[in-house]
Each structure stands twice: as C-alpha cells, then as structure tokens.
Chains A and B, each alone.
Chain A
C-alpha cells in the first residue's frame, strides 16, 4: 500500500507567545520542515498615521511613543527631527547631547531585550531573560527620573527636550555606564560560548548580503550580513559626527551573527555614552517654538538609526497646524519581508528562532 502524505497548514499566532505581540504566520509544513511562510499582520493596527493628520505637531509626539514601544525614545527623536528639518527649528547643544544619551540608553535597553528573547526562544524559559530585564529596568529608572514615565516617555519636543536633566541624573548614568560592560560580559558568559546556543544558531536563517541589500533591510539585521551601513556614520544626524565608535558587522548573516552584532552594539553605545557624558555643555534644553507650529508648505523625510534599523518619518505640510500626511517607515516591517527566504527549509523550532532574531515589534509594524 502506498503511503500518501499531505502538506500541513498551521496558523502560528496571533496569540503564540513567541510572536512578540500579535503576529500571525500561516506556515505550510512538510512533516516538520517549513515549505512556505505567509506573514499576516494588522492585529495591532490603531490607525496612527491617520490619527496624526488630525493633531497638531506637538500632539503627535505621544502617538510616536506607541509605534515601537520598546524604543519609544528613538521614535520621539525621529519624529521631532523630521519636524525640525521641515520647520527649520534650531536645537540647543545641550538638548542634542541629552537626545544622544537617551537614544543610546534606549539602544542598550532594546538590544538587551532582543538578546534575552533569543535565549527565551531557544527554550530557556524566561530565567536568563531576567538578567537582561535587570539592566533594562535600570535604564527605565533613569528615564523615569528624566520624564516621569517608564514606557511612553513623550520626552522629546520640537526644538529640544521637555525637561533638563535633574542634578542626580548624570551621576546615575555615569554609574550605569561604568557597570554596563561587566553586565555585557555576564550576558556573553551565558550565551556566547554555550554549545546549545551555538549549535542552534550558527548557520541558521542565513540572510545573504545581496538579498539583505535588495530587501532594503537595515539595522543590526543588515549589519549581521556583512554590510557596514549605519546612519549614524553614513548620514550623521544630530551630533553623531563628534563621537568615535565602531560599526560591528557579522560575516555569515545567520542568527548567531545578529546576536553578536547586538552585543557589540551595546558596547559601542557605552562608548558613545562615555564621550557624551564627558563633554555635555551647559545651556538651554529647549529653543523657543510657537505653541501652534505652522511649518512652511513642503515635504520632508527624516530618518534616524533606531535600535531596530532605519526609522523614517515622512511628513507633508500644507502650512496648517496639523500635517497633511504623516507616514512612518518602520524598520522591522521591511526587515520582516525576508522571513520566507530565511525560514523555508528549516524546522518549526528553527522558524521561531529565526523570526525572533529579526527582533520585531508589532506596534511599529501594524501602526
């Protein structure tokens, strides 16, 4: 008798705990092997782009917190930078330094979480993740001190930042910067040489260099494939041309390289923080901007290197108090388009790891 087999279709998500929110994949399996992946998103759609068209430029800032909620400070920054470019608003020196400090702290917090979730998805259920949560918690305490909130900061303002740092902020950041390298060593002790992690991640989910460029991937996801592309260096916004830092790049573009790039980016962020803390000037933290800003007619695209890649804001102004069009270029949504190429041929357990290594945040993808 002949044995007849059929492909098996599985709906992974939207409530699966490893989908980082409410992401759904329709996966076709041949036995345990993935033959097709169809991503389906939109479960977290809140219509942020449309909502923004009915709000003033200042009122949009709390909305941008809710895009990539694990790196809300970077989202604030990208938006206010686009508006400043559009309206020609000057930013005081001290505000730029405070923004860089916040942006790099946010990068450390975000990458720590991405690293923690990698081992979570490899099956080490939440225990190792708590080490990374500990450092993230310290950073959230610092942000709480700055702006009174732990997740949705609403800290950046058009033409500066909302508050100057309190006097106890800089000693605390200095202490954190001093301690952080030893914590990164601790993460590496847990993961980098662990045989189970190595055998599950080396050579898994390889993103070739030319595919990464063609898919316009960005961030650590792109740099793991060996492309040295970092907006902080290639299009130095804010004051990033003043700092010395390296751009870590991987060689193979597999899951392990993505982890490695993130760990090394945390070390580079610590380097930038040290330099920023050393030469932060005194002065204003906010320039005078009209309460109801009316930028001149025109369009602008402002982009920053957010922890997950290039975060862009496209704004069209018609000289009214609200933007005519507000569009977000989310980094992870564009990185996610390569999921099928990465995952086909691997087994179900590897699919979870590959998906996790993209480090998606659904708030940003669905908007």
Chain B
C-alpha cells in the first residue's frame, strides 16, 4: 500500500502569505550582492590567495617549507656559497597541485615566504602554474598577505564584511531564543 502525504490547507493559506511577506520585505530592501568583475571586495588581511611571495634576501635555503608541505610541492635546490651560507639555486612552487593550506608559510623561520593576496591567476597551460624564483618576487601585482605575518597584517586594508553591508540595527525579539 503506497504511503501518501495529505495536502492540508487548514489555515486558509496564511502560512504562504507570511512567507510572501518575508520575500516582499527583502525585495524592497537594499541589494546585498555586488556585481563581481566590476566591483571587487577587499579580501581579509590573512587571505590565502592563489599566490606566493618569496624574499631571496631573507631565504637561507633551509627547506623547512619543503619539508612541511603535505604534497611536496616546494622544490628547493641549494649549493654551498660563501661563509657557510647556502645559495638558493632553485626555488619552485607548483601552485597547480597546491591546496593553499599555508603550512609552508607557517613553518618558515625567517619570514622569507609569504602567501599572496591575488586570486585571479588562471593559466592556459599547467606549466604556467609552476612558479620559479623570478616569478615569486614581490611586485606591484604580487603583494604578500598577512597570514602568519603579523607585521604585514597590520598594514593591510580592512576586509569588507557582508555583516556590515547587510546588517540589521536591532533584533526583533531580544538576544536569545
């Protein structure tokens, strides 16, 4: 015997009218969305963008970042330089396989590697996603994010919050249920 749900209109459609009033209220209010490519929101200070910034003068070639990477995306090749220091010959990050977990940035003891704030970095070829030494240098378009870098975090602009753009001044029935 098939089970059947019964249509019950015992409240004369008052529930549906109540729902429509919610819709009407929101229809008359301000739009909370932004049209994306024209208007961009400010990302958070600790934003983990699809990008890295590397500072060759700070890097000692210790390869702690390479050891902490879960996927093994960071490639560091060094040779013995002057006065017991290492010269970094290769520093490569394969952002095509990267999950941007930020463990490499967290583990860097010299603040030489930072995550970037860019997020529109599509490429036509996979090879373009492998960032090498000169791709990773800081520039106008490649700015470091404040993830695990409190000094940089302080200087960054304030994040746009939906909470502030579409907040309500007062709650209707107190603070809790």
Question: Whole-angstrom distance between the alpha carbons of A149 and B173 in the complex?
Answer: 33
Q: Please tell me if the beta carbons of B177 and A268 are within 8 angstroms of each other in the complex.
A: yes
For residue B1, which residues in chain A have a CB less than 8 angstroms away from its CB? 345
State A346–B4 Cα separation when bound (angstroms): 7
Q: B149 to nearest A CB, angstroms?
A: 11
Interface residues of A in 318-353 (CB under 8 A from B): 345-347, 350
Q: Which of B100, B145, B159, B168 contacts A179 (CB 8 A)?
A: B168
Digit string of B162-177 for contact with A (CB within 8 Å is 1, else 0)? 1110111001111111
Q: Which residues of B contact A134 (CB under 8 A)?
A: 32, 162, 166
What 1/0 mask marks residues of chain A from 169 to 191 whose CB sits below 8 Å from any chain B CB? 00010011111011011100111
Which of B16-24, B53-61, B88-96, B131-139 interfaces with chain A?
Answer: B16-24
Bound CA span A142–B120, Å: 22
Are B158's CB and A168's CB within 8 A?
yes
Are A149 and B48 within 8 A (Cβ)?
yes
A181 engages B177 (CB within 8 Å): yes
Q: A203–B4 Cα gap in the complex (Å)?
A: 9
> Which listed residue, A55, A168, A346, touches B70 by the CB 8 Å rule?
A55
Assess whether A185 is in contact with B172, with CB atoms less than 8 Å apart: yes
| Closest partner residue, chain A, to B14 (CB atom) | A193
CB-based nearest A residue for B70: A59
Do residues A141 and B159 form an inter-chain contact, with CB atoms below 8 A? yes
Size class of the contact patch on chain B: 35 or more
Complex-state Cα separation, A268 to B177, whole angstroms: 7
Residue A283 at the chain B interface, CB threshold 8 Å: no
Which of B5-13, B77-85, B121-129 participates in binding chain A? B5-13
Q: Is the interface of B mostly helix, strand, loop or mixed?
A: loop
A189 engages B163 (CB within 8 Å): no
Partner of A274, one of B3, B47, B107, B176: B176
Q: When the two chains form their complex, are residues B48 and A148 in contact, meaning their CB atoms are under 8 A apart?
A: yes
Q: CA A166 – CA B10 in complex, angstroms?
A: 52
Contact status A181-B171, CB under 8 Å: yes
With A138-B162, A182-B173, A198-B15 given, is the CB distance from A33 to B44 under 8 Å?
no
- The number of residues on chain A lying at the interface, defined by a beta carbon within 8 Å of a beta carbon of chain B, is 64
Q: Which residues of A contact B100 (CB under 8 A)?
A: 149
**With A138-B163, A141-B159 given, is the CB distance from A148 to B47 under 8 Å?**
yes
Q: Does A58 reach chain B (CB closer than 8 Å)?
A: yes
Distance, CA A152 to CA B43, complexed state (A): 16
Chain A residues with CB under 8 A of B9? 195
User: Any chain A CB within 8 A of the CB of B106?
Assistant: yes
B141 within 8 A of A: no
Q: Is A361 an interface residue (CB 8 A)?
A: no
Whether the pair B115, A195 counts as a contact (CB closer than 8 A) is: no
- Once the chains bind, are B2 and A345 in contact (CB under 8 Å)? yes
Interface check A146, CB cutoff 8 A: yes
- 28 sample A-B contacts, Cβ–Cβ < 8 Å, listed by A number: A58-B68, A134-B166, A144-B47, A145-B46, A147-B46, A148-B47, A149-B48, A162-B148, A166-B45, A176-B163, A177-B175, A181-B174, A182-B171, A182-B172, A190-B22, A191-B19, A193-B18, A194-B18, A194-B19, A195-B13, A195-B15, A195-B16, A196-B16, A267-B177, A268-B177, A346-B3, A347-B2, A350-B5
Closest 7 CB pairs of A and B: A193-B15, A267-B177, A148-B46, A62-B101, A59-B70, A148-B48, A33-B2
Please give the residue numbers on chain A whose beta carbons come within 8 Å of chain B beta carbons, in ascending order: 33, 55, 58-59, 61-63, 127, 131, 134, 137-138, 141-142, 144-149, 152, 154, 162-163, 166, 168, 172, 175-179, 181-182, 184-186, 189-204, 264, 267-268, 270-271, 274, 291, 345-347, 350
Residues of B at the A interface (CB closer than 8 Å) are: 1-3, 5-11, 13-16, 18-19, 21-23, 26, 32, 43-48, 68, 70, 99-103, 106-107, 115, 145, 147-148, 153, 158-159, 161-164, 166-168, 171-177
Q: A138-B162, A166-B153 given; name 9 further pairs at CB < 8 Å.
A: A134-B162, A141-B162, A141-B163, A145-B45, A172-B163, A181-B172, A193-B18, A194-B19, A345-B3
